């Protein structure tokens, strides 16, 4: 008998999550994801749209376990993520936040963070070139950079861990149109070059059209195909 | 006669300050705090008086009780963190004891209740103040710098590493008043022990030497206690899956 293993790179089954929201000074438990399913193949790019507060950020935070799901299961390469050491899981699943947070010190120190933590043979100069960071900025204070430059540092810092999956939480929302398109181009180039699986959360329809990939929308606590 | 005058003066000051502070709405609080302080210090004096006649073991028992109460105060300030009570009590007790022992080992003070209880209580009280300030600030830093802490976690950092900058800030902020006090020691104020010794007729050099030894011990005990409290409290701010807890209030 031929046993066919049909593992997806990432699979979410019947995932539910509630959060506490403060309404009129009272904390109210609100369900934001319910019975959500998602299957992603290796190297696939998916975009997730949705209204503000629909749970897009919460959804991707569940994938790298920055938040905990209430019920359901999330599997990475067929393994329940709860069986993986959270730190190891986060090395495999990188995340770029909406507002870039750089660590105290130089750009070089920021990029070297993951390399010091996890080892590996990533060369900082190559990484910075791939992320579009000019070499003369490597020794600059990361805190003094523009938001666009900071976001590039955050992307490069996440890539230094050589992740399999990259979670992007509206990475261009705090940038001007020109910087946003440059970051888009950079990320799409990196995705092809490194065969990265990317989950890109955005609220901009135009951006979704520019990016391409599989388009999903978070509506009524679940994911649906998005048709423009 | 001297005691009666001093107590009468204290009562007068408490009443007058409470009456004045009433316009700020804290008169009752000052009256209560002042009365509590007066009663507590008189009880303490009576206990020390009794301790003079009892075996030394009892002095250490009194200090242990003080450390337990101090630990509880810091624990309450931390928002009653999981495992926070034993961490606070043990940290304050160990740091204070560590700095108390040399005074007797080196022969600065004779091993008597008269010296053990007051010196120990100064160390415990200050270790409590510094630890309470430190844990309060640490919690605030973790709350305000959630995005930075989570950025570290998202790269695979362990909670201790993700919270390191917040912990450092917590300790630094708590120690700033002590560092400032140390800088200005003898210039803008004469601290309590030295004042007491001078009033008791001691030689100024002797009083100053003992004061500086106690002062630096207080500082070191506070630093050690707050470091221990914060270090061992870190896990309480994170879940088993290395997530920064959502509700840090």
Residue of B91, B86, B79, B89 lying closest to B237 (CA atoms) = B79
- Is B153 an interface residue toward A (CB < 8 Å)? yes
Cross-chain Cβ contact A95/B154 below 8 Å: yes
pLDDT tens sequence for chain B (249 residues): 778 999 999 999 999 999 999 999 999 999 999 999 999 999 988 888 888 888 989 999 999 999 999 999 999 988 888 889 999 999 999 999 999 999 999 999 999 988 999 999 999 999 999 999 999 999 999 999 999 999 999 999 999 999 999 999 999 999 999 898 888 887 877 777 888 888 888 888 988 898 899 999 999 999 999 999 999 999 999 999 999 998 876
Give percent above pLDDT 90 in chain A.
64
**pLDDT value at residue A203:** 87
Rounded to the nearest integer, the mean pLDDT of chain A is: 90
Write the pLDDT tens digit of every residue in A44-72. Answer: 999 999 988 889 999 999 999 999 999 99
Q: What angle do CA B104, B189, B67 make, to 5 degrees?
A: 40
Cross-chain Cβ contact B157/A117 below 8 Å: yes
Give chain B positions within 8 Å (CB) of A22: none
The shortest C-alpha distance from A61 to chain B (Å) reads 9
Chain A contacts to B (CB-CB under 8 A): 20, 64-68, 82, 86-88, 90-91, 94-95, 97, 99, 101, 103-104, 113-114, 117-118, 154, 157-158, 161
Ordered alpha helix ranges (H), chain B: 2-21, 27-51, 56-77, 84-105, 113-144, 146-154, 159-162, 164-183, 192-199, 204-233
Tokens 């028992």 label which residue? B61
Q: Which two tokens stand for residue B178?
A: 């002590």
Sequence-distant (6+) residues with CB within 8 A of B217 are: B99, B100, B102, B103, B123
Cross-chain Cβ contact A91/B155 below 8 Å: yes
Of B154, B156, B241, the CB nearest to A118: B156
Write the pLDDT tens digit of every residue in A111-164. Answer: 999 999 998 888 899 888 888 899 999 999 999 999 989 999 999 999 999 999
Burial of B46 (0-12, 13-18, 19+ CB in 10 A): exposed
Cross-chain Cβ contact A114/B158 below 8 Å: no
Average pLDDT of the segment spanning A87-103 = 96
Write the pLDDT tens digit of every residue in B199-230. Answer: 888 888 988 898 899 999 999 999 999 999 99
The shortest C-alpha distance from A86 to chain B (Å) reads 6
Total-model pTM: 0.86
CB interface of B with A, residues 229-248, below 8 Å: 239, 241-243, 246-247
- Answer whether residue A5 shows pLDDT above 60: no
Of A86, A97, A157, the CB nearest to B242: A86
Return d(Cα A130, Cα A194) in angstroms, integer: 11
């Amino acid at each position: 008998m031929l046993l066919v293993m049909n593992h997806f790179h990432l699979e979410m089954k019947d995932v539910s999550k509630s959060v506490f929201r403060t309404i009129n000074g009272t904390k109210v438990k609100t369900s934001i994801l319910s019975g959500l399913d998602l299957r992603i193949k290796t190297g696939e790019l998916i975009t997730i749209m949705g209204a503000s507060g629909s749970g897009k950020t919460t959804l991707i935070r569940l994938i790298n376990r920055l938040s905990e799901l209430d019920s359901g299961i999330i599997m990475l390469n067929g393994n329940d993520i709860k069986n993986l050491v959270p730190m190891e899981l986060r090395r495999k699943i990188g995340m770029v936040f909406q507002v870039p947070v750089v660590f105290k010190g130089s750009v070089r120190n920021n990029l070297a963070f993951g390399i010091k933590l996890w080892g590996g043979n990533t060369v900082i100069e190559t990484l910075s070139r791939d992320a579009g960071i000019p070499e003369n900025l490597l020794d600059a204070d990361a805190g003094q950079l523009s938001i666009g430059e900071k976001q590039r540092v955050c992307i490069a810092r996440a890539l230094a861990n050589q992740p399999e999956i990259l979670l992007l939480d509206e990475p261009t929302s705090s940038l001007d149109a020109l910087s946003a398109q440059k970051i888009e181009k950079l990320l799409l180039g990196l995705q092809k070059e490194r065969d990265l699986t990317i989950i890109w959360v955005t609220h901009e329809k135009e951006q979704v059209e520019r990016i391409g990939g599989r388009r999903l929308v978070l509506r009524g606590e679940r994911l649906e195909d998005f048709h423009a | 006669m001297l005691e009666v005058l001093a107590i009468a003066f204290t009562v007068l000051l408490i009443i007058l300050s409470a009456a004045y502070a009433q316009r700020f709405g804290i008169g009752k609080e000052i009256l209560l705090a002042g009365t509590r302080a007066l009663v507590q210090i008189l009880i303490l004096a009576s206990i020390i008086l009794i301790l003079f006649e009892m075996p030394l073991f009892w002095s250490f028992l009194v200090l242990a009780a003080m450390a337990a109460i101090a630990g509880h105060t810091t624990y309450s300030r931390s928002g009653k963190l999981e495992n926070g009570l034993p961490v606070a009590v043990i940290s304050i007790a160990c740091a204070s004891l560590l700095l108390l022992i040399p005074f007797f080992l080196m022969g600065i003070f004779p091993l008597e209740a008269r010296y053990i209880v007051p010196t120990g209580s100064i160390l415990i009280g200050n270790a409590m103040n510094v630890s309470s300030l430190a844990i309060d600030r640490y919690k605030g830093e973790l709350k305000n710098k959630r995005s930075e802490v989570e950025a570290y976690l998202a790269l695979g950092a362990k909670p201790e590493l993700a919270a390191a900058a917040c912990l450092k800030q917590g300790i630094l902020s708590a120690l700033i008043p002590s560092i400032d006090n140390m800088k200005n020691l003898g210039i803008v104020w004469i601290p309590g022990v030295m004042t007491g010794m001078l009033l008791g007729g001691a030689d100024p050099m002797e009083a100053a030497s003992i004061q500086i030894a106690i002062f630096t011990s207080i500082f070191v005990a506070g630093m050690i206690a707050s470091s221990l409290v914060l270090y061992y409290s870190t896990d309480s701010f994170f879940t088993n899956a290395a997530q920064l807890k959502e509700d840090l209030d």
